[in-house]
Structures are given as C-alpha cells and as structure tokens.
C-alpha cells in the first residue's frame, strides 16, 4: 500500500511539473534592430537571459516596425520590440516588461526608454556610474506616464 501511494504521488508530481512550467513561460519577444548596433545585441541578450524567447529581426531601418507598433516619435531609441501585444522601444529592462505583462494596465500601448541611459540593459559601461531613468508607459492617444524608475538595471 505504501509503495503504491509513493508511486502515485511521484507520478502526479511529474504530471504537474510541465503544467507549471507552461504557465510560467514568457511570450515570444519580437525585436527589430540594426545589424551594426552593439547595444541592441546587449539588450537582446538581457531579455533572453530573463527567459524571453526571441525573434531577432535585423533590418536596415526600424521605422516600419515603429509605425506598425505606434511608437511616438519623441520616445525613440535604437531598437523596437513587440511582446504580449505591447510595443517596446529602447532599453526597457526585463523587470519592467514582466511587470507590464503581469499587470496589463488599461490603455497602455507600450513601454519606452527614450535615448540610451548609461547602465540600462545593453548600455552598461564599465567604470561609469549608471544613470537613473524612467521607463515610460504610452497609450495610443499620446498620453504618457512613468511606469517604473531604474538606476542602471535596478528598480528604485
């Protein structure tokens, strides 16, 4: 009787593992970037290390992807992405993206880190103090708000 219970418990535990792993899987992240941009590669590596499956699209110009995503021109950086129906622009840390996907705030179209803050994912510079910067949420009507604040790759 004890052997049977142990066997059944082990079997049930094994059956729940794939379900749990599937539920925690992150959605595919599509990225559009220039082939000559090293910081874009660094950001892609950061997102991959955080568990995002990546579709890496190397293009001559990211403009068409940005138009498709509806990214406001004043929020541009060097690469664009799409994950879980949300647009991404620039060096958005994985922590902000996972929070966005978990919270799914009403009206938000995407997240952006304008410019290229030192210390943001892909923009790490040895020997330089990381910048403090905002991850901005934007909507389709031009609205913006601070979604999260970071110092380097760490939320503040």
Q: Locate the domains of the chain by residue range.
A: 26-155
- Contact (Cβ atoms closer than 8 angstroms) between residue 34 and residue 76: no
Q: Dump pLDDT digits (tens) for 45-66.
A: 999 999 999 999 999 999 999 9
- Contact (Cβ atoms closer than 8 angstroms) between residue 131 and residue 120: yes
Q: What is the enclosing helix (H) or strand (E) of 147?
A: strand 144-151
- Contact (Cβ atoms closer than 8 angstroms) between residue 140 and residue 108: no
CATH architecture classification, 26-155: 3-Layer(aba) Sandwich (3.40)
Residue 36's pLDDT is 87
Q: 């909507």: which residue's tokens?
A: 139
Tokens representing 149 are 């604040």
- Whether the pLDDT of residue 22 is over 70: the answer is no
How many other CB atoms are found less than 10 A from the CB of residue 73?
7
Q: Provide the mean pLDDT of the chain.
A: 88
User: Cβ contacts of residue 31 below 8 Å, gap of 6+?
Assistant: 40, 44, 47, 54, 55, 56, 57, 79, 80, 81
**pTM of the predicted protein model:** 0.84
**Mean pLDDT score, 7-36:** 62
Residue 24's pLDDT is 63
């Amino acid at each position: 009787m004890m052997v049977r219970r142990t066997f059944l418990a082990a079997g049930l535990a094994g059956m729940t593992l794939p379900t749990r792993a599937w539920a925690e899987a992150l959605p595919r992240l599509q990225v559009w970037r220039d082939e000559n941009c090293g910081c874009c590669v660094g950001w892609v590596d950061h997102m991959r290390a955080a568990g995002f499956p990546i579709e890496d699209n190397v293009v001559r110009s990211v403009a068409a992807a940005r138009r498709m995503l509806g990214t406001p021109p004043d929020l541009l950086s060097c690469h664009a992405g799409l994950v879980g129906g949300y647009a991404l622009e620039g060096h958005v840390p994985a922590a902000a993206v996972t929070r966005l996907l978990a919270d799914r705030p009403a009206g938000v179209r995407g997240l952006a880190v304008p410019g290229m803050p030192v210390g943001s994912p892909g923009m790490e510079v040895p020997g330089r103090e990381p910048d403090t910067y905002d991850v901005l949420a934007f909507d389709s009507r031009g609205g913006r708000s601070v979604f999260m604040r970071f110092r380097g790759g760490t939320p503040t």
